[in-house]
Structure 1
Amino acid sequence: MTQVYDYLIKLLNTRKNRVTPAQIGIISPYRKQVQKLRKLLTDKKVIGKEEIKIGSVEEFQGQERRVIIISTVRSNSEHLLEDEKFQLGFLRNPKRFNVALTRAMSLLIVVGNPQILHLDYYWNQFLNYCIDNGGYTGMKFDPTADAIPIDDPGNPVDDLEARMKRLGLLNTNEEEENLSQLQAQVDPPWRDEQ
Structure 2
Amino acid sequence: YRKVVSNNCTDGVREQYTAKPQKCPGKAPRGLRIVTADGKLTAEQGHNVTLMVQLEEGDVQRTLIQVDFGDGIAVSYVNLSSMEDGIKHVYQNVGIFRVTVQVDNSLGSDSAVLYLHVTCPLEHVHLSLPFVTTKNKEVNATAVLWPSQVGTLTYVWWYGNNTEPLITLEGSISFKFTSEGMNTITVQVSAGNAILQDTKTIAVY
TM over 0.5: no
- The bucket for the TM-score relative to the shorter chain is under 0.3
Q: Which has the larger radius of gyration?
A: 2
- TM-score normalized by the length of structure 2: 0.26
Question: Which has a greater percent of helix?
Answer: 1
- TM-score normalized by the length of structure 1: 0.28
